[in-house]
Amino acid sequence: MKTLFNLNPTIPNQNDPFLEILSPQGAEIILGDTPADSLAIPLEPSAKSLFGPRGACLVSPNGPLWVADTGHHRLLGWRNRPQVDGQPADWIIGQPDFNHEGQNAKGQPTANTLSVPTGICLCGEGLAVADAWNHRVLIWKEIPRDSHVPADIVLGQADFNQNQPNRGYQETGSDRLHWPYGILYHQGQLWVADSGNRRVLVWNQLPTTNGQPADWVLGQKDLNSRDENGGETANGRSMRWPHSLAVWEDNLSIADAGNNRVMIWEGIPTENNSPCSMVLGQNNFEMTELNRGQYFPTSNSLSMPYGIAVAYKWLIVADTANSRLLGWKGKLSMGCSAQGLTAQSHFRSKSENRSYSKATRQSLCWPYGIQICGNTAVIADSGNNRVLLWSVNNNNE
């Protein structure tokens, strides 16, 4: 764990230069069979098409790659790291073939169907997926390397055939989920952003049985509560819409999209309802407005940040509604300015695809997810119906 605080925070100046977080040449590989001038409209499913993808996981620099093709309710897998734009997927989980779509393949939930899959991450020797609208997390003990591979373990439900929010109860509990969107596996612990219950659940060890209850919780006073911001005004403990998690410089970081901020703990918390040490995107713990109440963003404001990741010394945030990536490094202070920017020409721009009518290799439209593998950022560019493989700018290490 490293010290976060700097007692002399900078004041944002939008004319200041910024560091390019990712390569200014743009994405190396673009996946998704999307017309260049279209935004996120429904697309016919195929081995090439994506519809509003929200998560992706490059297992190793050489692959495989798994993508949560959220709008088509499926996972697409590439055996090796894709080498050309629009490369078709090799594998599919969640649908009978590449040309069908629908929640739970238009049937009942099973161990290999999905309904709005979002977060996806390596989990021990396997893979974990936040299957949001089935209100569950699916765990494969080994990385799937074929189509239609069923999950081994389900969390949030008693078995693979149930999919009610909070198991059909009005109240929540340690073994229930409601719209889980984000997931992190770190040093043997599983962390789940249980977004609809406005909390993060933690399993101290990788679960081994279906429906296994979580051990403790952040964002609520106990494992049975689900109040927005813990039933109070926003504070250092509360969450409104936690969506993704990362560990930066040995410090837990959570993108709290509903409060338009990133929460950072000094170290890794170990107890129920532990408060964070600081936030980015707001001046204090109580503020919650998008872009700090202003129409245009700045270098220290956020609007619905859904994604978060770590590359080298960078803490990278997918500032979703501003269609950009922001990057922080070094000592941080409450609400301090980002030093890095990608996908906009300056800090006051929030235009989708930089105001261009067409998506480019350097632009984003509502990026929901970001994952780092080696020197590659894998970005779920949801509003453009595509996934980008984009090199981290090594000059900024």
- The CA distance from 245 to 376, in Å, is 18
Which regions of the chain are under pLDDT 50? 1, 7-10
**Residue 171, pLDDT score:** 95
**Residue 82, pLDDT score:** 98
- The CA distance from 64 to 148, in Å, is 16
- The CA distance from 102 to 248, in Å, is 37
This prediction's pTM? 0.94
* CA dihedral sign, ordered 211, 215, 219, 224: positive
Token pair listed for 7:
């007692």
- The CA distance from 290 to 295, in Å, is 9
**Residue 106, pLDDT score:** 98
- The CA distance from 158 to 316, in Å, is 36
Determine if the peptide bond prior to 275 is cis (ω within 30°). Answer: no
**Residue 50, pLDDT score:** 97
Share of residues in the chain with pLDDT > 90 (%) = 91
**Residue 6, pLDDT score:** 53
**Residue 293, pLDDT score:** 96
**Residue 394, pLDDT score:** 75
pLDDT digits (tens, 9 = 90+) for 253-307: 999 999 999 999 999 999 999 999 999 999 999 999 999 999 999 999 999 999 9
Domain boundary assignment for the chain: 19-396
- The CA distance from 85 to 105, in Å, is 27
**In the 3-class helix/strand/coil scheme, how is 232-246 assigned residue by residue?**
CCCCCCCCCCEEEEE
Token pair listed for 370:
């970001």
- The CA distance from 88 to 72, in Å, is 15
Token pair listed for 150:
């069923």
CB atoms within 10 A of CB 315: 24
- The beta-carbon contacts of 143-149 under 8 Å, at least 24 apart in sequence, are 143/59, 143/64, 144/66, 144/75, 144/77, 144/91, 144/93, 145/64, 145/77, 145/79, 145/91, 146/91, 147/77, 147/91, 147/92, 147/93, 148/92, 148/93, 148/112, 149/93, 149/112
Task: Decide if 323 contacts 365 (C-beta within 8 A).
Answer: yes
For tokens 């408060």, what's the residue? 275
Instruction: Give the helix ranges, DSSP H, for 66-111.
Output: none
- Which residues in 133-164 are b (16+ Cβ under 10 Å) and which e? bbbbbbbbeebbeebebebebbbbbeebebbe
**Residue 39, pLDDT score:** 53
The top-level CATH class assigned to 19-396 is mainly beta
